[in-house]
Structure 1
């Protein structure tokens, strides 16, 4: 398995586990009506992602340094570009959908109460979810599109 493919698997698995735990905790907190401590959970999840991916990728690179190959600029790069494009388009669609929901709500005079702490937490986590979904899609789609050798 190439270093790029290994890194993508690490990113996908760690991302699913850490962000899954974070958003699970977020949903539990929202059901209870408690938004306290979510900023620390977010910072903790971000730190875990950075440390685990860095250590795991570095360890894999070190262990397989003798078998390392040059990055294939052809099919591998094309797979990464296609996956990144699809992820970017999904992120744009999600952001435009969120903007449309806000515009639609204001059209009818509905308030989503984004001035209150709870509304701000929900909005921040919705934006975070959009980025996480796009990144996980990019990693998964790149893995799917990289040619098998």
Structure 2
């Protein structure tokens, strides 16, 4: 397995483990009545910062290990197939990100239309700090999914091009 493939696996495993736990944590708090929880924003902020630090540490340690067990010559080389696979995967991930952001935007617009025109205003979907935190987490989920798509497609292409 090349150094690039090892690094992609590090990215996939650390992202799935850490961000998977984080979004499970968010979902649990959403199910527990987030609209009335005074500590919702603070709780998720601390969990986010902890996960961000954790994913950076895990990736740094595992990348260091991958670097240590990979010959120096192999780490420096980047052949055409790796460049081509990374370019294709980045394009696919960009299209996925555009689609996800469009869906989030459409859902936010629809919620506004339903709230203002059909339900009767602020009583149902009033925008508060907790709602903005939920929206920020939805956007974060879009970024995490996009990164997983990029790493997964790159890995798939590298294995398929052998």
Normalised by the length of structure 1, the TM-score is: 0.90
Which is higher, the Rg of structure 1 or of structure 2? 2
Give the alignment's Cα RMSD to 1 decimal: 1.9
1:6-46 CA distance string (max 9 Å, x none): 00001001110101100111111111124241101001111
Task: Select 1:125's aligned residue among 129, 137, 154.
Answer: 137
Counterparts of 1:1-149 in structure 2, within 5 Å, are 1-33=1-33, 34=37, 35=40, 36-66=42-72, 68-69=74-75, 70-72=77-79, 74-108=80-114, 109=116, 113=125, 115-147=127-159, 149=162
1:56-99 CA distance string (max 9 Å, x none): 11221122234625111x11111111111111111111111111
Contact 1:83 1:141 in 2 (8 A): yes
Runs of 4+ in 1 over 4 A off after TM superposition: none
Does the C-alpha gap of structure 1 residues 114 and 16 become closer, same or farther in structure 2, counting only changes over 3 Å?
A: farther
Normalised by the length of structure 2, the TM-score is: 0.83
Q: What stretches of structure 2 of length at least 5 have no aligned partner?
A: none
- Tell me how far apart the structure 1 counterparts of residues 126 and 55 of structure 2 sit (CA, whole Å): 29
More helix by share: 2
Q: What stretches of structure 1 of length at least 5 have no aligned partner?
A: none
Aligned residues: 148
Contact 2:96 2:146 in 1 (8 A): yes
